[in-house]
Amino acid sequence: MKPTSLLFVCMGNICRSPTADGVMRHKVLQAGLQDVVRVDSAGTHNYHPGSPPDRRSQFHAQKRGYDLSALRARQILAADFALHDLILVMDWDNLALVEAICPCDKTGKVRRLTEFCLRHTSPVVPDPYYGGDQGFEEVLDLVEDACDGLLQHILQSKP
């Protein structure tokens, strides 16, 4: 069975999408589903190529047991639309930018991550970059919830 491949996307790939990448990798590993789900992340902009996640993202993620240190920022590529089964964006701007470069036959792959939230009702994962600690905690709250729902969705849709 071919694994489901996920790509998490935010603007610079240093806060929200690597957080989602790290959280989902952790959940997949804990569930023993590394043969069922593959995880990656990218940004709509090439602001920080090769950079590790923002230190604040790493700090708050580490407090909850997620290690983001090995991740490196990159920009979304045309090949990503063929490679990944779901492309999960963090907000409306990311959605518009990803849809603008998405091949017409792949638009069904592009979704907002928060569509998979089980408990929270936020339509987006807000960008914490210019805010304080609470923004990074809110990102983790939303991402953890959405990743739980996403994992359920993947398992329910597998034969």
Residue 74 known to be catalytic = no
Q: What is the pLDDT of residue 140?
A: 98
Q: Annotated catalytic residue: which of 10, 15, 117, 147?
A: 10
Catalytic residue, from 91, 127, 145, 147: name it. 127
Domain ranges across the chain: 4-157
- What pLDDT does 15 receive? 97
Q: How confident is the model at residue 1 (pLDDT cuts 50, 70, 90)?
A: confident
pLDDT in tens, 105-125: 999 999 999 999 999 999 999
* pLDDT value of residue 78: 96
d(CA 153, CA 14) in angstroms, rounded, equals: 26
CA torsion 87→151→155→111, rounded to 10°? -30
- The single residue of 15, 16, 56, 102 carrying the catalytic annotation is 16
10 labelled catalytic? yes
pLDDT digits (tens, 9 = 90+) for 56-109: 999 999 999 999 999 999 999 999 999 999 999 999 999 999 999 999 999 999
Tell me whether residue 93 is one of the annotated catalytic residues: no
- Mean pLDDT score across all residues of the chain: 97
Residue 14 has pLDDT above 80, yes or no: yes
- The fold of 4-157 is Rossmann fold (3.40.50)
- Is residue 159 predicted with pLDDT exceeding 80? no
Contacts of residue 71, Cβ cutoff 8 Å, sequence gap at least 6: 18, 21, 22, 41, 52, 53
